[in-house]
């Protein structure tokens, strides 16, 4: 009897393995046929173009890049994108919180020229002597109005170690500047002490170096006697979840903070906090351009610290992207999950409704949203 049972068990196991193997083979065959059909369509299109296009000097690399970009575009997801090797490298530099350029922020003036509104500290522009209110008239000898505003701004950027020649209206006179482009850290955190010992910290993005900048600002304001905080994420389009976690960790209580739901409804904790916690009142300024990580930052503070959100309805981006380097040196940014705090629903497509709604009219002479946040601590 034992031998019969053993034989039966072996037979059942063999049948199960055979069924599993057969299922796997059938799945692979179906996948192969589907892939083959896709590439047959592409091959037929390529054959026709190669045989009939009126020019023969076709840029094959450009064709391939466009094909890959178009393939990802076919997902219908505005946040998923294929990048060329050059685009991928530029994104990695940006996400690291670095930039290649001369270190100025500009705004188009009434004449149509770029007016410098900020010169970053220790930047090539500062070393060259550029100051706020200088106006860039020409780039590489070509007038900005002739070349186009965006085209001219693009020309200012370039490869590290190369020079850009600018004609600038400086102190009422036109002067020539030759400035060597450098890679330098981008500042994404700005802080100051407001009245009544309220610490104000503006966060413009979430990059790799944002967390250190934020923690430094937090510690400096606490040392100055801050007993309440206003965090400003208006016009912050988001960034890295890893930076966000480091920023929230010293503020929030211990435990799981946020989860992500992947393909197949697989849920995973993506943000935690340790036992260290800041017990001070908090307000967060938000608006319609507060998106993604900026929204998760705001939602986490409200859910776990009872922070008050002040401003207008946020953008509503509650989906997460992962960027991967591909074999060809390019990159793929792909939406892989939705996410939310462990205490509230996903806000994707909806946004966050502030606790105190304050519109910001164009003719406002003061920052009325900031003023409303300050009143919370009176």
**Residue 331 belongs to a domain with what CATH number?**
3.90.226.10
Out of 150, 185, 220, pick the residue that ends a domain. 185
Asked if residue 53 is part of any domain, the answer here is: no
Active site residue 292: yes
Q: How many CB atoms lie within 10 A of CB 353?
A: 12
Q: Indicate the number of domains in the chain.
A: 2
pLDDT computed for residue 175 by the predictor: 95
Out of 290, 292, 298, 300, which one is annotated catalytic? 292
Same domain, 317 and 351: yes
- CA dist 351 and 314 (Å) reads 5
Out of 246, 305, 308, 317, which one is annotated catalytic? 317
Beta-strand relationship, 228-232 and 98-101: unpaired
pLDDT computed for residue 26 by the predictor: 52
Same domain, 293 and 155: no
Active site residue 11: no
Asked if residue 52 is part of any domain, the answer here is: no
Tell whether the torsion through CA atoms of 337, 322, 77 and 317 is positive or negative.
Answer: positive
Distance of CA 357 to the CA centre of its chain: 26
Q: For residue 132, count CB atoms less than 10 angstroms from its CB and return exposed for 0-12, middle for 13-18, buried for 19 or more.
A: exposed
Q: Is the pTM of this model over 0.85?
A: no
pLDDT computed for residue 1 by the predictor: 46
Same domain, 195 and 290: yes
Same domain, 178 and 195: no
Same domain, 222 and 180: no
Out of 124, 154, 185, pick the residue that ends a domain. 185
Asked if residue 74 is part of any domain, the answer here is: no
Out of 46, 303, 328, 367, which one is annotated catalytic? 303
Same domain, 286 and 171: no
Asked if residue 93 is part of any domain, the answer here is: no
Asked if residue 278 is part of any domain, the answer here is: yes
DSSP, collapsed to helix, strand or coil, labels residue 71 as helix
Beta-strand relationship, 81-83 and 163-170: unpaired
Active site residue 317: yes
φ, ψ of residue 24 to 5 degrees: the values are: -65, -45
- Write out the chain's pLDDT in tens, 378 residues: 444 454 454 454 544 445 454 555 554 565 656 677 778 988 999 999 999 999 989 999 999 999 999 999 999 999 999 999 988 998 898 899 887 889 888 888 889 999 998 888 888 999 999 999 999 999 999 999 999 988 898 889 888 899 999 999 998 899 999 999 998 888 899 999 998 899 999 999 999 999 999 999 999 999 999 999 999 999 999 999 999 999 999 999 999 999 999 999 999 999 999 999 999 999 999 999 999 999 999 999 999 999 999 999 999 999 999 999 999 999 999 999 999 999 999 999 999 999 999 999 888 899 999 999 999 998
Same domain, 143 and 256: no
Q: Are 131 and 152 in contact (CB under 8 A)?
A: no
Which residue carries 């060259």 as its tokens? 128
pLDDT computed for residue 9 by the predictor: 47
Structural domain for 302, as ranges:
189-375
Q: Where do the H-state alpha helices sit in 224-354?
A: 241-248, 293-305
pLDDT computed for residue 6 by the predictor: 44
Same domain, 312 and 232: yes
- CA dist 169 and 130 (Å) reads 10
pLDDT computed for residue 118 by the predictor: 83
pLDDT computed for residue 334 by the predictor: 97
Same domain, 167 and 196: no
Q: 192 has which bridge partners?
A: 200
**Residue 144 belongs to a domain with what CATH number?**
2.30.42.10
């Amino acid at each position: 009897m034992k031998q019969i049972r053993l034989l039966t068990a072996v037979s059942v196991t063999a049948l199960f393995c055979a069924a599993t193997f057969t299922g796997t083979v059938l799945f692979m065959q179906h996948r192969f046929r589907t892939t083959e059909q896709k590439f047959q369509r592409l091959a037929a299109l390529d054959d026709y173009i190669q045989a009939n296009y009126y020019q023969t000097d076709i840029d094959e690399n450009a064709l391939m890049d466009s094909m890959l970009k178009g393939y990802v575009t076919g997902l219908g997801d505005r946040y998923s994108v294929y990048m060329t090797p050059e685009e991928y490298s530029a994104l990695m530099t940006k996400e690291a919180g670095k930039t290649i350029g001369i270190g100025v922020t500009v705004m188009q003036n009434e004449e149509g020229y770029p007016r410098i509104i900020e010169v970053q500290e220790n930047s090539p522009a500062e070393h060259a002597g550029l100051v706020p209110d200088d106006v860039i008239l020409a780039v590489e000898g070509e007038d900005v109005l002739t070349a186009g505003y965006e085209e001219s701004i693009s020309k200012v950027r370039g490869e590290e170690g190369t020079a850009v020649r600018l004609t600038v209206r400086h102190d009422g006179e036109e002067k020539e500047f030759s400035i060597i482009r450098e890679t330098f850290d981008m500042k994404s955190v700005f802080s100051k002490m407001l009245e009544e010992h309220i610490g104000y910290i503006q966060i413009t993005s979430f990059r790799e170096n944002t967390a250190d900048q934020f923690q430094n600002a937090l510690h400096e304001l606490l040392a100055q006697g801050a007993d309440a905080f206003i965090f400003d994420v208006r016009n912050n389009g988001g960034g890295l979840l890893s930076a966000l976690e480091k920023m929230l960790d010293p503020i929030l209580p211990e435990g799981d903070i946020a989860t992500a739901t992947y393909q197949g409804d697989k849920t995973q904790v993506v943000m935690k906090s340790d036992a260290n916690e800041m017990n001070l009142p908090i307000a967060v300024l938000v608006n319609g351009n507060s998106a993604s990580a900026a929204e998760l930052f705001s939602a986490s503070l409200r859910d776990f610290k009872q922070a008050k959100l002040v401003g207008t309805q946020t953008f509503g981006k509650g989906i997460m992207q992962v960027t991967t380097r591909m074999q060809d040196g390019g990159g793929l940014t792909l939406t892989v999950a939705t996410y939310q705090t462990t205490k509230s629903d996903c806000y994707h497509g909806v946004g966050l409704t502030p606790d105190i709604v304050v519109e910001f009219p164009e003719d406002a002479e003061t920052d009325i949203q900031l003023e409303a946040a300050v009143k919370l601590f009176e």
